[in-house]
Amino acid sequence: MELKRQKAYKTVFDRARDELMESTMEEKFFLAGLRHEQKGDSLRVYVPYFDETITLDIPSFSFSSSRGANITLVTRIIILHYINTASGIPLTGEKVAYGDIPACMHYDPVFEKRVLKPLVRAFGYDRYAFLDAGRGLGSKEEQFGDASLTLFAFPKVPITFVLWEGDAEFPPSAKALFDPSITGYLPLEDIVVISKLAAGRILKTAMKNFAEEV
């Protein structure tokens, strides 16, 4: 099953790579808000990605992280999708829930299960651990709910997570908010993926913080 999934991902990656190669790449980088430079026969693109910068060399399509982290095939795909989809549409500054994004309403239960429930389980009764993890990722604190923070997955893709702590009367809950322009920067199916990756970074940072305190 895993081998089959990897083959499917490889096909998606190859398709995204070919699409970028056939495009006017410099224009795509500009629309995505990315800096690039010529390195001999290669183009080097700098992709701000959460709290790190990923360098993409073209045409070799090699990826490297400023943090020395492993860059998964899923991350490589979503970076290429971001570049290929980038429309250059300005951020509106507004925030909408996942279910309010056109065509996403029917996938709300999937989003809830994959993205929000893990955050609620980890931080539903500890907003301070949630905020501390966000600070470790360079997030911007917001004024929604009991605690909220915004991460930039890419220069044009902010994701805001809002947490409501549970008490004797109400269970904890969470919500993710997006700029309405997100559909001009990522395919619809990638919105769940990038949100899951964002939530995963918060959870991983919280676990690291906890281990350092013990």
Instruction: Say how far residue 12 (Cα) sits from the centre of its chain.
Output: 18
Categorize the per-residue pLDDT at 103 as very low, low, confident or very high, splitting at 50, 70 and 90. Answer: confident
DSSP bridge partners of 152: 158
Q: Is residue 11 part of a domain?
A: yes
Residue 40 has pLDDT above 90, yes or no: no
Category of 61 on φ-ψ map: left (φ > 0), alpha (ψ -120 to 50) or beta: left
Q: Is residue 90 part of a domain?
A: no
Q: Is residue 63 part of a domain?
A: yes
Domain with 192 in it? 96-213
Q: Are 131 and 149 in contact (CB under 8 A)?
A: yes
Residues 81 and 104 in one domain: no
Residues 43 and 109 in one domain: no
Give burial (CB, 10 Å; 0-12/13-18/19+) of 123.
Answer: buried
Residues 10 and 62 in one domain: yes
Residue with tokens 């990897």: 6
pLDDT of residue 209: 84
Residues 53-66: tens digit of each pLDDT: 999 999 999 999 99
CA distances from 67 to 23, 46, 70, 82 (A): 29, 13, 9, 21
Residues 44 and 124 in one domain: no
Q: Is residue 91 part of a domain?
A: no
Structurally, the chain folds into a number of domains equal to 2
Q: Is residue 208 part of a domain?
A: yes
- Of the chain, the percentage scoring pLDDT greater than 90 comes to 86
Give burial (CB, 10 Å; 0-12/13-18/19+) of 34.
Answer: buried
Cα(18)–Cα(212) distance, rounded to whole angstroms? 44
Last residue in a domain, options 52, 85, 118:
85
Q: Which residue type is seen at 39? A: K
Last residue in a domain, options 85, 106, 138:
85
Residues 110-134: tens digit of each pLDDT: 999 999 999 999 999 999 999 999 9
Cα(92)–Cα(73) distance, rounded to whole angstroms? 31
3-state secondary structure of 76: helix
Q: Quote the pTM value.
A: 0.94
Residues 154 and 115 in one domain: yes
Residues 120 and 72 in one domain: no
Residue 214 has pLDDT above 60, yes or no: no
Count CA within 13 A, CB hemisphere, residue 50. 24
Residues 110 and 51 in one domain: no
